Amino acid sequence: MRIEHPQNKIDEIQYHGLHNDENLPPASYSLVTQVDGMGVYSFCMCPGGIVAPCATEQHEVVTNGWSPSKRNNPFANSGMVVQIEPHHLDQNYLKNPFVCLDFPETG
């Protein structure tokens, strides 16, 4: 999934209040934590970016993010990943070598 935040809030947090300084670029961030023993982390952080819906298959939409070169949009966004383990999956699917690719449709 992707999460979206006001870019000025990210700038304020990362630059400790200096979010209106024209010499500072739009700030980025990285999040890493453990929740119930599973890894959770951000990736592909897009300062001043855009969340973009992308069609991958009929009747299906996924999200992606990107930043224009000026990174001047009012929002930042980042992908978030949660670790999954074999015991999170239906045991019948473990025989399928593509189980993790199919997981979003079945999980």
Concatenated DSSP letters of 1-39: -EEEEEHHHHHHHHTTT-TT-TTSPPP----EEEETTEE
Which percentage of the chain shows pLDDT scores above 90?
49
Query: Is pLDDT of 107 > 50?
Result: no
User: If pLDDT is split at 50, 70 and 90, which confidence band does 55 have?
Assistant: confident
Structural domain harbouring 42? 2-106
Query: Is pLDDT of 93 > 70?
Result: no
Instruction: Please state the pTM of the whole predicted model.
Output: 0.75
65 vs 14, 75, 107, CA distance in Å? 20, 11, 23
Name the residue among 54, 51, 41 with its Cα closest to residue 77: 51
* Domains: count for the chain: 1
User: If pLDDT is split at 50, 70 and 90, which confidence band does 61 have?
Assistant: confident
pLDDT of residue 45: 95
